[in-house]
Each structure stands twice: as C-alpha cells, then as structure tokens.
Structure 1
Amino acid sequence: MAYRPLADEIRPSALDDVVGQGHILGKDGLLRRIIEGGDVPNLIFYGPSGTGKTTVANIIAQRTRRPLHRLNATTAAISDIKEIMGQVGTLLAPEGVLLYLDEIQYFNKKQQQSLLEFMEDGRITLIASTTENPFFAVFGAVLSRATVFEFKQITPQEALPAVERGFSIMEQRLGAQAQCEPGVKEYIAQACGGDIRKAMNAVELLLSAAKRQQGKLLVTLSDAETVAQKSAMRYDREGDAHFDIASALMKSLRGSDPDAALHYLARLLEAGDMLTAIRRLLCSASEDVGMAYPMAVPIVKACVDNALQLGLPEARLPLAQAAVLLATAPKSNSVYLGIAAAQADIRRGRTGDIPRHLQNVHADSSGMERDQGYLYPHDFPGHWVQQQYLPDELAGTQYYHFGPNKTEQAARRYWEEIKKSKGPDQTKP
C-alpha cells in the first residue's frame, strides 16, 4: 500500500468532524447552512494554514458532486485554468467544475482576471484560499463575485482531540500501544500553533521514531519538544502575522502593559526579526511617550545601539530593557497630534507667505534693502519676546497642546509665567 501521510489520513469527510471553526461551521453557522443548502457560491477562505480550508473544500466537492480540481497559485498558470475549463460541458464535467485555488494571493492581476468570465456564468465555482488578508491580496473584481469566510486559528483545546485521534491511528499502523509521559499530547496540541497539519506531522514523526519496550512505544516529553520545536510560531516577514505581531508590540507599549510588550518582543526575536522590534521601539519613544519623558528617546536609542553591537541572542536584554522602559513610562501623544495637525493644514494648502522678519537675511543684500524687523529673543528678559512666527493666514493657530503629564505641565507653567511677566512694551530689551 502506498504511503499516506497521517495529516491526509485524518482529514475529516463530514462537517461535524472539522476541528474548530464553530463560528462558521457550527449548528447555526452561515457556511454550514450554505453547504447543506447545496447551492454553493464562489468562496474565499481566509486564515492560517492547517485550519481546515482544504478539508472544507473537499467536503463541498463531495456534496455538490462536481469534479474538484486543485491548483496552487505558486506554480499554476493561465494555461492550467484553460485546460480545466476545456472539460466543462463534456462528459467529464457536464455541470461545471469546482476549482480549489490555494494561495490565490500569488496570482497576479491578469491571472486573477482570467477567472472572472467563468465565475460569472457559473461554469466554474471558485473556492480560493489565502493566508493573507483577501481585501489586500485579492483584486476587487474577484472579491465582488465571491463571499469571504475567515478561518480562525485553532485553540489547543480544539486541537487536543485531533492529536489523540492521530495517536490512535498511528498505534494501529505500528501495531503497538503508545506509552506517553504526562503532558505529551497536551504539549503537541499547544506547540502546533493552531495548525493541525503540523500537529499530525509531529505525531507521525514522534511515534515512528519511538523506542519500543515490551511491545509498547515509549513517547517522552523531551522527544515531543524536539519534534514540535517552534511550531507555535506563526510568522512570515511578508505576511499578516508579521504586521499583527509588530502592531501588537506597539499597542502594548502604548497601553503600558510591560508583560504583553515583552511577549510580542520575544515573538519577534524568536523569529529572528530584530529590526522590526527596533523600529517599533524607536517609534514608540516619540509617538507614545514623547514629551512626558523626553529622555526615553536617547535611552531607547542607546539600548538599540547596544543590541545592534551585541547581536542575538544577547541583544534581547537591551531591547527588553527598552520595552519595559517604554511600557512603564508616562505617556503623551502631544507631539504626534501636533505634527499631524500641522501636516493636515499643509496638505489642505494652508501655508501662506513666511513673515518678512523670519526670512533669510540674504534678501536684505540683494538690492531690495528694507528693514527686516526681526526681534532676537535672547536680547530680552526670559529669552522671549512677543512676535508673529506663523504666516498671516495661520496666525493664532495652535498645533501643540501641553499634555496632562508632569513634564509638560511644568513647561506650560514656566512659559505662562515668562509671558505674563512681560510689560506692555515687549519690543525693548
């Protein structure tokens, strides 16, 4: 008998046996009702690998009794689609075909558009899967003709029954009962990262390599940790997971949660993506801490410099120090709001001429001599004098507002005192 991977052998043939996805395949799930109704539209399945997208496509094919053709967008071409469409209307596919297109995000615009004609007249029912957000990865014309369903990551609790079933199948294959150390099955369910295919691969390798003793397969936790190492890491520097983890790190820093910040920093570092972590830490120092603790900027920069000189794994220490500092520092986004408001005015065309007294003095020696009228603040008490700095069109506009933190309130009080102490004639030193 030909070898059959455990992940393929354990694949469910009924919706009730699909692991997880209760939100769309549960008793009242919309996708279940569509499938059971028999009139299946064009569908796009979006979610991490190993969450049941291909399995559900197979079940749909069985229910619709239409020939199922599989293509992977990483290797397929338009000629492959045309070859499949050549079967429509023949004895091979009298009622059309069901095309399962895996990783549709790798099809370019022309390739995706080649599907439109067949999708519209019903000759092809497209079920496309993608691990990337389809609203970015799939062209609008295809999206408008399909319904998107999101497959969510499978929890360890949901994965455990599948792991136990995988053990049972392997015991039958090998003709011996597995004797597991405590926590082995639970560890695999946890370490697979919600990917049932990875879990089954780990089970198959673990039992195939297990030592036999008195007719039993000895399965140790140490071996389980070896075969499942880093499986829980869902990471792709070009994919959604990359941006999700980076976003979660930034938001944890902003939300003043040092534990979450260290968690997401660790996930980036375990994936070897130190540069993404560095960019987020440097940005947060100015965007989220800002004027509430301006020293965060040089401190974080020093931590980053140390990390770059040390390299991984030692770099984790200064980067963790920076993350904890930012997460526990007082917060102010006054700088972010100020520059955002100023840029918004510029983009709307609100600029105006630079006041004469602020212009470069080169104009005074170009044959157009006239009094510039600039007042040098350092010549005045408190190093401040009242004069207009914004263009006339924007005079009085306020972009920066002092934040409610200790540092910015101290600066506010300082300048209020300086400006109040000025007499009516502010033009004389």
Structure 2
Amino acid sequence: MRPKSIEEVIGQTHLLAEGKLLRRMIQAKKLSSMILYGPPGTGKTSIASAIAGSTETPYKMMNAVVHNKKDMEMAVEEAKISNQLIVIMDEVHRLDKTKQDFLLPHLESGLIILVGATTENPYHAIHPAIRSRCQIFEVTRLTTEQVKEALVRAINDHERGLGKYNISITEEALFHLAEAAGGDVRSALNALELAVLSTPDNEDGTIVIDEEIAEECIQKKRFQHDKDGDAHYDVLSAFQKSIRGSDVDAALHYLSRLIEAGDLTSIGRRLIVTAYEDIGLASPQAGPRALAAVEAAERLGFPEARIPLAVAVVELCLSPKSNSAYKALDKARSALLEKGTPEIPLHLKDAHYKGAKTLGRGKGYQYPHDDERGWVPQQYLPDDLKNDQYYFPKQTSKFEKTLQEVYQNIRKGKGR
C-alpha cells in the first residue's frame, strides 16, 4: 500500500498541498537533498518513495544500518551512469562518520540527492555536515480519519491491498483500528491484515470483522514514547510547562505518558525543579513536599509510585507561582559578570586572625542581634554595587507579599 506518487499520500498537507515548498520542488522536478522526520508509521519512507516516483530521476532504497560503504560506492556508480540518483535512506541518523564522509562530496555536487527518513530530531541526531546540505521537513502523526481513509483504501485495493478478499467490516471496527493505532498507519494496516487473515470465512465467503475482532488484533493504543528518544524531552517540557501554567489535566496527561515510559528519575527531577523554579517563594513548602513525594515514589516503585506523584502534581499545579528568587540570583550573577568582583567592605571582612584589626578588618561592623529589632542599617554590598537591586517580589501569594513589605522597609531603612 506504499504510495507510488504524491497524489496517493494521505495527510501531510503542510508539506504536499498546492503551493507548499516540497510540492513545488516535485512539480518543478528540482529536488534537493532533504530529511523527513517524525513518529513511526507516519509515512516518511512512503513520502520519499512517492517523491521519487513522481520524478523521472532513478532512485535506490537504502538503510543506514544495513548498507555499508561499498553499497554506497555502488550507488554512486549508478548515479554516474544516469547522471543523478535519488537515494532514499532509512534511519539516516545512523550514518556513521565513514559513510557520511563518503557521501558529502556527492551531495555537494548534486550527483546524489539524499532523501533521509528518521524518527529522531535531525537537529539533535544528524551530523551538522549532512544536515546543512539538506532541507528539513517534519512529518506529523495522522488523524484518526486519515488512518481510516488508509484502511478503506487497503480494503478496496485489488492490486496492492486486500481487495481480493470479500471483507465486511463494521464502522465500529474500522474506527477502533484507526483510533487505536495512534496515528501510526503501519500499525493500523498490520492489524487489519491480521484481522482478515485470522478470521474464518462465512458460508457465503464473506470475512466479517466486528469491533471485538478489531480489539483483539490491535489490543491497545500504540504508545508513542521512547524515554531515550528526542520526543521524551518534548513530553518533559510539556509536563513542566503545564504545571507552570496551572493546568492540572494537561499535567496529569503528560505525567501518565512519563509513567508509561517508566522514567521515574526524570519525573522526580522535573517535579523538584518545578517546585523551586515555578512555585518558589509563593509557596516555600512546595519544594520540601515535592521532594518528599518523589522520595516516597522511589521507595514504592511503580505502579504505586503514581499515587504520591499525582498528589505532588495537583498541588504544584494549583499553587501560586513565583520565580522571583532565582530570577534575583540571575540578575546578581549578570551584574557579577559585567562588573567583576569589587572590593568587599572592610567591616565585613574576616577579622578572626592575628593582625586583622591592624589591617582594619571588621572595624565598624554592627552585630544585628545586639539591636532589639534584629537588624541595623548597614552596607553589605561592595561600594560599586551598593545601589543595585536584584530581587523584585511578586504579588502571587500572601507569603511573598509579606517578604516584599520586609524587603522594602529594609531598603528604606538603609537610605536607598
């Protein structure tokens, strides 16, 4: 069922609709090397084949893992005979340095047009020398309706599909196969084929596929998550941003994905940093409570670990938010990098050694606890920085409003 031309490609209109760059390149028969990346089963290799089939340029299917340098040398010889060759390279991110070095001059000259397919983000996984010579196109997961369209096409196609069978499939079964595939057409087609081949004919020769059979052949939604892959970091990013944005439902969705991936370590790290980065002084106990929940989860292990994690996520989502403390540190550090390390005031320098008094160390220092207020007006910043302000309190919680009041009184008391 792999498309033979771009007209047969389902979905990916952002790449192949009229007027889009890839469509224009194909219509003009002026292809340049490109990399197609996206989740499994979304049609990367199919699009590559359709692109090649829509041009008059000969093409060759290769795999970066399976094919060695000698195979690539043979491809270059073929290219020289035909003046140009499209090389469709599956798992292009797995090209080692030797293969890359061999291909580079041929990509540069245009003798080889590389159409790479990968599930990995090319900006992370592909060598810059290859990437800089390629257009990057992202292939997105198909919708349920688009997967359903592919299934119907396969059922009716006598030449490449299952049209030779007398198939009767219920609408519920068709929807289940399309929806449970999670945007992976390959998974849906495999399940359909399994359903057809494993279901006995009726007396009239009809193969009836109902929802129960469909459920058996594709037992659960395909879970698109690899905790070692690039998409994992997208989920972690969405997880923290959902907590920061106070969206409990979204945060629990992404937590579920991370739990299914089994990555307790990343969940724990992200919860703790979120508690301090995004909740911060608005609710200072959020940090210790998040740490306690993570430690409880680590002791329990999955599946019970999900319970304290859920508690922590809901609390962090609905807590007031403030990033004022670490932003204050960032401002102080920026000032340090810009202005260097001015002299520490003499009255603050260490005076606990012989001769310190002679050097004026500690002279004039006022001990705050000697004052009934527990505070005295005194300069602590170096002279060159004495008027700097790094901390700007937020108004998101009673706690930080109280801190703001104290902070402003101290600054006024010091005559700033």
TM > 0.5 fold call: yes
Instruction: Indicate the residue corresponding to 1:413 in structure 2.
Output: 405
Offset from partner CA, 1:360-395 (integer Å, 9 cap, x none):
344456796644133222222221112222233322
Q: Please state if 1:199 is matched with 2:188.
A: yes
Q: For residues 28-427 of structure 1, what are the structure 2 equivalents within 5 Å? A: 28-89=19-80, 93-168=81-156, 172-173=163-164, 175-180=165-170, 183-210=172-199, 212-214=201-203, 215-348=205-338, 350-364=340-354, 370-373=360-363, 374-405=365-396, 406-417=398-409
Matched residues in 1 for 2:316 and 2:120: separation? Answer: 31
Matched residues in 2 for 1:233 and 1:269: separation? Answer: 12
Question: Bigger shift: 349-358 or 39-48?
Answer: 349-358
TM superposition shift of 1:192: 1.5
TM superposition shift of 1:277: 1.6
Matched residues in 2 for 1:308 and 1:220: separation? Answer: 43
Give the CA RMSD over aligned residues.
2.6
Matched residue type, 2:28: G
TM superposition shift of 1:348: 3.7
Q: 1:210 to 1:339 in 2, by over 3 A?
A: farther
- From 7, 26, 31, give the equivalent of 2:17: 26
* Fraction of identical pairs, as percent: 38
- Are the aligned partners of 2:167 and 2:207 in contact in 1 as well (CA < 8 Å)? yes
Matched residues in 1 for 2:305 and 2:208: separation? Answer: 39
Offset from partner CA, 1:61-109 (integer Å, 9 cap, x none):
22333332222223433333223213333xxx32221111122222244
**Secondary structure in 1 matching 2:79:** coil
Matched residues in 2 for 1:205 and 1:354: separation? Answer: 77
Q: 1:212 to 1:302 in 2, by over 3 A?
A: farther
- Are the aligned partners of 1:72 and 1:101 in contact in 2 as well (CA < 8 Å)? yes
TM superposition shift of 1:157: 1.9
TM superposition shift of 1:153: 1.6
TM-score scaled by length of structure 1? 0.87
- Are the aligned partners of 2:38 and 2:120 in contact in 1 as well (CA < 8 Å)? yes
- Are the aligned partners of 1:351 and 1:394 in contact in 2 as well (CA < 8 Å)? no
Q: Which segments of 5 or more consecutive residues in structure 1 lack a partner in the other structure?
A: 1-9, 425-429
Matched residue type, 1:320: A
TM superposition shift of 1:401: 1.0
**Secondary structure in 2 matching 1:99:** strand
Offset from partner CA, 1:224-258 (integer Å, 9 cap, x none):
34543454321122322101111100110011100
Matched residue type, 2:227: R
Offset from partner CA, 1:195-233 (integer Å, 9 cap, x none):
211111122223333355544445453553454345432
**Secondary structure in 2 matching 1:384:** coil
Q: 1:220 to 1:27 in 2, by over 3 A?
A: same
Q: 1:370 to 1:116 in 2, by over 3 A?
A: same
- Are the aligned partners of 1:350 and 1:393 in contact in 2 as well (CA < 8 Å)? no
TM superposition shift of 1:342: 2.3
Matched residues in 2 for 1:349 and 1:223: separation? Answer: 72
TM superposition shift of 1:162: 0.8
Q: 1:39 to 1:423 in 2, by over 3 A?
A: closer
Matched residues in 2 for 1:267 and 1:111: separation? Answer: 36
TM-score scaled by length of structure 2? 0.89
Matched residues in 2 for 1:253 and 1:30: separation? Answer: 37
Offset from partner CA, 1:298-325 (integer Å, 9 cap, x none):
1111211111111111111111111111
Q: Which segments of 5 or more consecutive residues in structure 2 lack a partner in the other structure?
A: none
Q: 1:402 to 1:70 in 2, by over 3 A?
A: same
Matched residues in 1 for 2:139 and 2:414: separation? Answer: 69
- Are the aligned partners of 2:242 and 2:251 in contact in 1 as well (CA < 8 Å)? yes
